[in-house]
């Protein structure tokens, strides 16, 4: 067997890796290299990346400016792992986040470094809200995705994820999200909170994604977000915004809630916050809520210094390259394409999104077609994903740094793919 073919062999995974693996089933090759918005498998086949590792590669794979900062740090024998001890890398990260992102927006937050996954930071956020309010209940929304550990999973709504728990997922009331067909979300929320016969105890927190990503690219309106903020203020409820997937510039602003002009009490960030795809998660806390005692939410890997270095470089990159405005400009390319090129393919298709996260909804044709598109798109050289009810929404989520040319090339592949899939299913 030639060396290249041995590398392409998937037997080791299929025989030895747990069957819980999932993305590899949609993109069944062995990947090797990645640059910007292009991935290459071991046989040098090229794939355009419309997934961005689920939103953790917002600045593109191996972004040269961020990589340089990481390599410089690494080549100099600087400290790599340090629990939550004071280090130069962490000081630089905190200072960069504060001076380039928080202060210009008038945001005054304490920064808490969590264990390195989004779900760990969600656990920290809900624990902190409960500790502050001395209440147990949390309100989350239908379509929410907040992670896989038990506290976060209790907030997450999709059936398959919840069935993995095998213990009761409790102390959460789910309320319809903005735009839920036939239901007035704010009216419902007010009823839950204000009717003394609603049967729901007053919650510690309301947690939400301003754009539900895994839930099917459901974009909350600015008015809805402001109304939730108002309700939290009226009732002394902690407002938590999970910006793990749609923060870090994905919406066209650094924080996804900026378009509503609101300030959450706690903001959760992970995925692209490390700039370079390394594990990292933090929560931003209004100073008066910052009441965990030392070590009350501990974790060995809260001090990944390469993540701090990449994170600081990523924030500098975001500001210096005016990524927010670039996203807004390129978002129009996507939106125009979806309206002018995709909708005409079938009158039952709809689309929605904002910034650099969009979804094409197949539910009115047949939800399974969305997954068929993922497989066909992969055969056509593009990586994309499904989301939402029945996995019926084809999700488009490129790196924010994608060039216009590769973006358009990828959109053409989406068009070709959907045409093929619809044609195959109407024979
Ligand atoms: C909005 C949101 N919250 C939480 C999580 C969980 O993050 P992690 O997978 O790093 O635990 C995700 C992951 O996709 C997410 O999209």
Give residue-wise pLDDT tens across range 285-323.
Answer: 999 999 999 999 999 999 999 999 999 999 999 999 999
What is the number of the ligand 1 atom nearest to the C-alpha of 147? 6
| Closest alpha carbon to 373 in 334, 342, 333 | 342
Query: What's the pLDDT tens digit per position in 64-94?
Result: 999 999 999 999 999 999 999 999 999 999 9
On whether both 90 and 223 belong to a single domain, the answer is: yes
Alpha-carbon distance of 407 to 411, in angstroms, equals 6
The reported pLDDT for the residue numbered 426 is 86
For ligand 1, atom 7, the nearest C-alpha belongs to 118
Whether residue 411 lies inside any domain: the answer is yes
Domain with 205 in it: 78-320
Answer yes or no: do 150 and 264 share one domain. yes
Please report, for the domain that includes residue 151, its CATH number: 3.40.640.10
Confirm if 121 and 337 have CB atoms less than 8 A apart.
no
Look at phi and psi of residue 377 and say left if phi exceeds 0, alpha if psi is from -120 to 50, else beta. alpha
Q: Indicate whether 69 belongs to any domain.
A: no
pTM of full prediction above 0.85: yes
Question: Helix 404-425 crosses helix 368-379 at what angle (to 10 degrees)?
Answer: 120
Please identify, by atom number, the ligand 1 atom nearest to the C-alpha of residue 270.
Answer: 10
**What pLDDT sits at residue 7?**
77
Same domain? 31 vs 86? no
- Residue 250: CB partners within 8 Å, gap ≥ 6? 55, 58, 211, 256, 272, 327, 355, 356, 357, 397, 400
Tell how far the Cα of 194 is from the centroid of ligand 1, in angstroms: 31
pLDDT digits (tens, 9 = 90+) for 36-45: 999 999 999 9
| Ligand 1 interacting residues, C-beta cut-off 6 A | 54, 117-119, 122, 145-147, 209, 213-214, 242, 244-245, 270
| Cα 245 to Cα 162, 199, 253, 356, distances in angstroms | 20, 32, 13, 11
Same-domain check for residues 262 and 377: no
Q: Residue 4: pLDDT band by 50, 70, 90 thresholds?
A: low
User: Tell me, what's the pLDDT at 174?
Assistant: 98
- Percent of the chain whose pLDDT exceeds 70: 98
Residue nearest to atom 13 of ligand 1 (CA): 147
Report d(CA 385, CA 371) in Å as an integer: 8
Q: Are residues 96 and 226 in the same domain?
A: yes
Would you say residue 66 lies in a domain? no
Do 109 and 237 share a structural domain? yes
Q: Hunting for tokens 């008038």 — which residue is that?
A: 106
Q: Provide the number of structural domains found in the chain.
A: 2
Q: What pLDDT is attached to residue 1?
A: 41
**327 and 335 in contact (C-beta within 8 Å)?**
no
Residue nearest to atom 2 of ligand 1 (CA): 146
CA distance linking residue 415 with residue 424, whole number of Å: 14
Measure 100 CA to ligand 1 centroid, in angstroms.
25
List 48's β-bridge partners, or say none.
Answer: 38, 382
Is the pLDDT at 5 greater than 80, yes or no? no
Give the CATH number of the domain where residue 38 resides: 3.90.1150.10
Residue 72 lies in a domain: no
Asked whether the predicted pLDDT for residue 54 surpasses 60, the reply is yes
Residues 169 and 216 both lie in one domain: yes
Query: Is the domain of 225 the same as that of 352?
Result: no
- 19 and 126, same domain (yes or no): no
Residues 52 and 85 in one domain: no
Q: What's the confidence (pLDDT) of residue 3?
A: 52
| Domain shared by 311 and 173, yes or no | yes
- Could you give phi then psi for residue 84, rounded to 5 degrees? -110, 35
Cα(354) to centroid(ligand 1), Å:
19
Q: What is the pLDDT of residues 247-285, one digit of tens each?
A: 999 999 999 999 999 999 999 999 999 999 999 999 999
CA 216 from chain centre, in angstroms, equals 12
Length of the chain: 427
Residues 123 and 248 in one domain: yes
**Do 140 and 214 form a contact (C-beta atoms < 8 A)?**
no
């Amino acid at each position: 067997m030639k060396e290249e073919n041995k590398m392409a062999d998937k037997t080791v995974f299929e025989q030895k890796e747990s069957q819980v693996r999932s993305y590899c089933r949609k993109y069944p090759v062995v990947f090797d290299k990645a640059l910007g918005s292009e991935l290459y498998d071991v046989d040098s086949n090229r794939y355009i990346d419309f997934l961005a590792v689920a939103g953790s590669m917002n600045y593109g794979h191996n972004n040269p400016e961020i990589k340089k900062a990481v390599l410089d740090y690494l080549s100099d024998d600087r400290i790599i792992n340090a629990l939550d001890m004071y280090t130069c890398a962490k000081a630089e990260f905190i200072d960069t986040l504060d001076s380039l992102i928080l202060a210009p927006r008038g945001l005054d937050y304490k920064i808490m470094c969590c264990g390195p996954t989004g779900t760990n930071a969600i656990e920290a956020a809900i624990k902190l809200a409960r500790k502050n309010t001395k209440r147990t209940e949390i309100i989350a929304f239908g379509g929410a995705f907040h992670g896989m550990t038990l506290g976060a999973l209790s907030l997450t709504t999709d059936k398959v994820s919840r069935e993995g728990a095998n213990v009761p997922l409790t102390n959460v009331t789910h309320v319809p999200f903005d735009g839920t067909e036939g239901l007035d979300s704010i009216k419902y929320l007010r009823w839950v909170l204000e009717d003394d016969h609603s049967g729901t105890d007053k919650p510690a927190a309301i947690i939400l994604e301003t754009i539900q990503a895994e839930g099917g690219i459901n974009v909350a309106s600015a008015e809805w977000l402001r109304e939730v903020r108002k309700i939290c203020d009226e009732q002394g409820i902690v407002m938590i915004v999970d910006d793990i997937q749609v923060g870090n510039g994905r919406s066209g602003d650094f924080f996804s809630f900026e378009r509503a002009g609101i300030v959450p009490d706690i903001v959760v960030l992970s995925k692209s916050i490390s700039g370079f795809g390394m594990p990292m998660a933090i929560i931003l806390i209004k100073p008066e809520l910052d009441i965990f005692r030392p070590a009350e939410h501990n974790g060995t890997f809260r001090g990944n210094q390469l993540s701090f270095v990449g994170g600081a470089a990523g924030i500098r990159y975001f500001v210096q390259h005016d990524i927010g405005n670039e996203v807004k400009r390129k978002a129009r390319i996507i939106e125009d394409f979806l309206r002018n090129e995709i909708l005409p393919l079938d009158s039952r298709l709809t689309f929605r999104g904002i910034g650099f996260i969009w979804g094409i909804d197949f539910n009115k044709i047949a939800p399974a077609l969305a997954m068929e598109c993922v497989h066909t798109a992969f055969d056509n050289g593009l990586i994309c994903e499904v989301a939402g009810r029945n996995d019926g929404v084809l999700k488009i989520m490129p790196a924010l740094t994608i060039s216009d040319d590769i973006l358009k090339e990828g959109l053409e592949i989406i068009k070709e793919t959907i045409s093929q899939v619809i044609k195959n299913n109407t024979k």
